[in-house]
């Protein structure tokens, strides 16, 4: 490391703003010289004002701890001398630097002339794949001991250790990457130029092994794609009879836990493949479902020399299959099992596009930060899958520009991440993909379709819904606005202006650009007016002011004059888009003979321009379909953000019978499809799911495998007797009751409670009621309120020892809290979809026309499946135990309640009074106090 002196500073304060009178209550410094920590300093400071209660709670620093300490002015000279001619480092530099400069100025010291480095920004660049960049998150990722978060001495120490890790990572980067970062760093917060200059000066000019230079940057050298492995056919035939003899299975799986249900599943999957049949298998939690289909899939792939495709709904399951289950297969079989993940091409970085974008002048902070992240990430990634990077939100626009959209030609093709992913898929035994890609047209380009006819659909209860989305249509204001802004006008720095210059450079008349510029200005204004009017149209008809997302189902046969006025607006927008495309088509014909003289970067700009125009052409077709094509077989609805922008609108269309389309477009074309999930059965019958998926004419095999868990011993079900009935016109009594029960259950020491809601409005009301409880003994996390994505909320919940998590749709399924991470599950309300759900209400209307009961054929089965998914969150392994609480008395009082009761695991059911529950939980608390 160079001779630069680095001083890491952290402060704790009475608030967020020194300009509003907030002061420092603790300051700590760690000095780093020549790569070593050489000095530490820490001091409590008297702020001459009371410390707010929430600061005391956050930091643990009390008024008593600082009342006898000196004010900052007494240590100002020492702080100034520490920082003089040193580089100031902090985690979120603006906060700490702002307070220190304010206090030093107030003490009469001159302005600091230090370079600054922000470890948040630096960590984002050098560790682009980390999940988060808070001190606690970085400490966990880098395995650093962070003893007292939100104490300045502990935070400064950890920040210093993080900085040393950052320096180590920077020193290991190839020279072209450092030079690339040097060109970008002018627009960053941190003063990185001196640091990078030093590292570049010290760096060997030779490119290290394992890297490959592409243009001005470096990628990790791609490994040679393996050849298709040769397999001893005798070994394969030795394994084939195992499906006929159970002792053969026992021998094959001798190293694994003996699960009878898993063996049943293996046999059923094998029979479906062998007989060229489709199959539905409900495999309850605990049977080892994934291996249950992977073992027969592997043998089938090896014997037929054709891959088996496994499709999942969540990326979490994809990661589990690839990183855990495939390794288990290699322990079972005496030969290597190959697997490949294939996503849509827009998930992969296009090296050619990134090369061009990197050359451009760019002063957008998020874009520059994302470019720096990608430079580092390319030295590590084997996949080029952009979902690996934790990009800033503003970097998403950059991502769209550099994602692969069309084949790369020439030398770069051998480095193309998407092409390599396809090549891996072609020689893999197991191809892992997702439902959306599997049902898209793009899958025909990605999968070796001529040899792929055997499929396993995991998380199959989502398959029909994903099909509805894939076979449907949508338009929204945001995507249109984004494309129009990318094009820009001749007065703006967009693609239109760039291409106009390109025309002039090759002596082609640019007159058409003036017409296009005018049309684009009008189009931007017209689209804003149109979507604002659509927003108002929905809001006038849906006057529930408590909800953020509002839905309006379109019935074009009974609409009023207001709807016809919207159609007129849509018609004008479509006409303008058609006219725009005609101008573009005439304009682009002039280039046919000139493109051979263009540079590669000019061709790149032209391709982006064409891409925008192609988007607008497709958008016009979709808009016309949604507003002018009456199709009895689909539902059209509008969704608005009621509390957001006045043009935050999306219009959707989905087929009413996606199962029929699945039958025609998917199942008919496949030799064997096995669909599996933990929830496919309603009232011990597969009939609902068979109909929903369009499988009635295929007469699929069916198998229901029950869980091996001892629910009688490990689960207790509580349905309280005394709880208010749900009334749509007055839910307050019910909300008060839910809050009262949650508080009672949370009194138990170290309890971890997940509360599942069907309505975000109800969740919000319960959260605010609980927050007003002064003696609530644990932390409350609430989806959409306490901040962070559902994934971050899950992580926070797992780290807490005593907490309540309030969740809606995301938490009903696909989340795992094994062991003590979840001890109680509360279902606030039976999960019927809201009456304004456009797809469900349209399906109910269709059922009514057919003479069927909408409730019995649509609403109830869907609610039961969701209910079973929710219950499944509690016990995830044989050793788990816990309590399920159902706070909806309809399960006992309604005629349909027995269907939900049948869906419950075979465990004891208690129906106590509130006082009995209070006594029960207060007794459970006493021994731990």
Query: Is there a binding annotation on residue 694?
Result: no
CA distance 446 to 425: 8
CA 655/CA 843 separation, integer angstroms: 10
Instruction: Tell me how far apart the alpha carbons of residues 122 and 105 are, in angstroms, rounded to a whole number.
Output: 28
C-alpha–C-alpha distance, residues 907 and 57, integer Å:
41
C-alpha–C-alpha distance, residues 258 and 287, integer Å = 10
Q: Which residues contact 820 (CB under 8 A, 6 or more apart)?
A: 750, 752
Among candidate residues 262, 342, 271, 343, the one with its CA nearest the CA of residue 307: 342
d(C-alpha 28, C-alpha 483), whole Å: 48
Tally the residues of the chain. 929
Output the six-digit token pair for 817.
Answer: 């809290």
- In order of 156, 236, 408, 618, the CA distances from 42 in angstroms are 9, 68, 57, 62
DSSP string for residues in 94-119: HHHHHHHHHHHHHTTPPPP---EEEH
Rounded to whole angstroms, the Cα distance separating 452 from 454 reads: 6
283 marked as binding residue: yes
Q: Which long-range contacts (CB under 8 A, 24 or more apart) does 175-178 make?
A: 175/200, 175/203, 175/204, 175/205, 175/207, 176/207, 176/213, 176/216, 176/217, 176/218, 177/217, 177/218, 177/375, 177/376, 177/379, 178/203
Start-to-end C-alpha separation, the chain: 53
DSSP 45: -
Q: Confirm or deny that 289 is annotated as ligand binding.
A: yes
Point out which residues pair with 549 in neighbouring strands: 641
362 and 188 Cβ atoms separated by less than 8 Å:
no
In the numeric block, which tokens belong to residue 919?
């006594």
CB 695 within 8 A of CB 277: no
Q: Is 371 annotated as a binding residue?
A: no
* 483 labelled ligand-binding: no
Can you tell me which residue has the tokens 């439902």? 435
284 in a labelled binding site: yes
Identify the DSSP state of 91: S
Q: Is 285 annotated as a binding residue?
A: yes
Is residue 261 a known part of a binding site?
A: no
Q: Which residues are annotated as a binding site for ATP?
A: 283-290
Q: Which residues are annotated as a binding site?
A: 283-290
């Amino acid at each position: 490391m160079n001779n630069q002196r680095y001083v890491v500073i952290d402060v704790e304060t009475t608030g967020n703003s020194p300009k509003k009178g907030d002061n420092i209550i603790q300051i700590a410094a760690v000095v780093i010289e020549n790569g070593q920590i050489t000095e530490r300093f820490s001091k409590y400071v008297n702020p001459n004002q009371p410390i707010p209660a929430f600061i005391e709670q956050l930091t643990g620093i009390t008024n008593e701890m600082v009342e006898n300490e000196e004010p900052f002015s007494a240590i100002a000279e020492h702080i100034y001398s520490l920082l003089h001619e040193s580089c100031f480092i902090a985690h979120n530099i603006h906060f700490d630097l702002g307070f220190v400069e304010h206090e030093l100025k107030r003490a009469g010291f001159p302005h600091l002339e230090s370079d600054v480095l922000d470890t948040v920004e630096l960590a984002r660049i050098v560790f682009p794949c980390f999940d988060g960049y808070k001190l606690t998150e970085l400490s966990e990722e880098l395995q650093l001991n962070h003893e007292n978060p939100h104490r300045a001495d502990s935070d400064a120490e950890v920040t210093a250790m993080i900085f040393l890790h950052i320096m180590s990572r920077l020193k290991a980067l190839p020279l072209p990457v450092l030079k690339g970062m040097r060109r970008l760093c002018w627009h960053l917060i941190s003063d990185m130029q001196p640091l990078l200059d030093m590292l570049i000066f010290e760096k060997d000019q030779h490119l290290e092994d394992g890297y490959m230079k592409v243009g001005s940057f470096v990628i990790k050298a791609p490994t040679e794609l393996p050849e298709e492995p040769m397999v001893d056919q005798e070994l394969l035939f030795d394994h084939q009879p195992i499906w006929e003899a159970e002792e053969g299975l026992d021998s094959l799986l001798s190293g694994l836990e003996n699960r009878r249900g898993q063996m049943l599943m293996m046999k059923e999957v094998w029979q479906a493949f062998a007989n060229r049949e489709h199959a539905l298998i409900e495999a309850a939690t605990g049977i080892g479902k994934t291996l249950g289909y992977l073992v027969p899939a592997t043998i089938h792939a090896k014997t037929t020399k054709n891959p088996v495709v496994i499709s999942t709904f969540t990326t979490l399951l994809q990661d589990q299959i690839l990183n855990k289950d495939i390794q288990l297969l290699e322990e079972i079989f005496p030969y290597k099992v190959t697997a490949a993940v294939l996503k849509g091409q827009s998930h992969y970085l296009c090296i050619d596009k990134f090369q061009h974008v990197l050359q451009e002048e760019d002063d957008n902070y998020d874009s520059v930060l994302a470019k720096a992240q990608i430079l580092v990430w390319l030295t590590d990634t084997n996949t080029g899958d952009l979902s690996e990077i934790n990009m800033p939100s503003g970097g998403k626009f950059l991502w769209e520009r550099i994602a692969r959209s069309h084949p790369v030609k020439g030398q770069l093709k051998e480095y193309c991440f998407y092409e390599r992913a396809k090549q891996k898929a072609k020689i893999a035994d197991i191809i892992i993909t997702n439902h959306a890609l599997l049902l898209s047209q793009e899958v025909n380009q990605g999968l070796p379709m001529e040899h792929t006819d055997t499929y396993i659909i995991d998380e199959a209860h989502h398959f029909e819904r994903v099909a509805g989305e894939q076979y449907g249509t949508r338009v929204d204001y945001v995507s249109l606005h984004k494309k129009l802004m990318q094009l820009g006008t001749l007065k703006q720095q967009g693609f239109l202006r760039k291409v106009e210059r390109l025309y002039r450079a090759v002596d082609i008349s640019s007159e058409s650009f003036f017409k296009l510029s005018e049309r684009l200005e009008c189009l931007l204004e017209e689209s804003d007016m149109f979507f604002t009017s659509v927003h108002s149209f929905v809001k006038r008809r849906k006057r529930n002011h408590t909800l953020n997302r509002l839905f309006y189902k379109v019935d074009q046969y009974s609409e009023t004059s207001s709807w016809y006025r919207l159609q007129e607006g849509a018609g004008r927008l479509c006409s303008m888009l058609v006219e725009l495309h005609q101008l573009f088509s005439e304009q682009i014909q002039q280039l046919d003979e000139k493109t051979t003289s263009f540079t590669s970067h000019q061709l790149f700009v032209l391709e982006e321009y064409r891409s925008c125009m192609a988007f607008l052409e497709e958008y016009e077709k979709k808009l016309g379909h949604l507003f002018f094509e009456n199709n009895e077989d689909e539902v059209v609805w509008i969704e608005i953000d009621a509390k957001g922008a006045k043009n935050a609108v999306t219009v959707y269309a989905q087929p009413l019978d996606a199962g029929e389309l699945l039958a025609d477009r998917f199942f008919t074309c496949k030799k064997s499809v096995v669909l599996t999930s933990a929830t496919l059965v309603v009232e011990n019958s597969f009939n609902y799911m068979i109909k929903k998926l369009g499988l009635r004419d295929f007469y699929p095999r069916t198998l229901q495998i029950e869980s091996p868990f001892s629910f009688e011993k490990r689960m207790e079900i509580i349905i309280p007797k005394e709880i208010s009935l749900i009334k749509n016109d007055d839910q307050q009594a019910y909300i008060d009751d839910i809050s009262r029960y949650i508080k009672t259950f949370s009194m138990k020491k170290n309890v971890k409670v997940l509360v599942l809601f069907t309505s975000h409005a109800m969740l919000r009301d319960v959260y605010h009621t609980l927050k007003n409880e002064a003696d609530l003994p644990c932390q409350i996390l609430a989806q959409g309120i306490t901040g962070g994505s559902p994934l971050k909320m899950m992580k926070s919940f797992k780290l807490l020892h005593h907490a309540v998590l309030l969740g809606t749709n995301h938490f009903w399924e696909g989340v795992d809290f094994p062991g003590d991470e979840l001890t109680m599950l509360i279902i606030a309300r039976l999960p019927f979809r809201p009456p304004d759900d456009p797809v469900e209400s349209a399906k109910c209307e269709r059922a009514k026309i057919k003479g069927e009961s909408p409730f019995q054929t649509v609403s109830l089965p869907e609610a039961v499946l969701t209910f079973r998914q929710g219950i499944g969150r509690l016990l995830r392994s044989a050793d788990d135990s816990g309590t399920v609480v159902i706070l909806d008395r309809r399960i006992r009082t309604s005629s349909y309640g027995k269907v939900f009761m049948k869906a419950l695991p075979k465990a004891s059911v208690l129906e106590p009074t509130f006082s009995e529950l209070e006594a029960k939980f207060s007794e459970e608390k006493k021994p731990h106090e």
